[in-house]
Amino acid sequence: MESQREGRSSTVALSDLQSFSFRQSPVLIVENFWSADERQYFRDAMNQAAWKSLSDLPKVREDFPDSGNWAKAEIGPAQGNRFLSRLQLPCIQEYMESFPNITGRHMGFSYYSYSAGDCLLTHDDTSQGEPVGGRLAPRRRIAVVAYFHEEWQSDWGGELIVYATRSAHTAEKPALSVTHCIEPRPGSLVMFTVPRFHRVCRVDQTAGQHRRLSIAGWFMTEHA
- In tens, the pLDDT along 35-67 reads 999 999 999 999 999 999 999 999 999 999 999
pLDDT over threshold 90, residue 128: no
pLDDT at 6 over 70: no
**14-223: CATH architecture:** Sandwich (2.60)
Q: Give residue 4's pLDDT.
A: 45
Q: Are 55 and 61 in contact (CB under 8 A)?
A: yes
Measured from the Cβ of residue 212, the count of other Cβ atoms closer than 10 Å reads 24
Q: Where are the domains of the chain?
A: 14-223
pTM score, whole prediction: 0.92
Q: If you average pLDDT over every residue of the chain, what do you get?
A: 93
Q: Average the pLDDT over 85-100 and give the result.
A: 98
Residue 5's pLDDT is: 47
Which residues, at least 6 apart from 46, have a Cβ–Cβ distance to it below 8 Å? 73, 111, 113, 148, 213
Closest CA to 86 of 149, 23, 30: 30
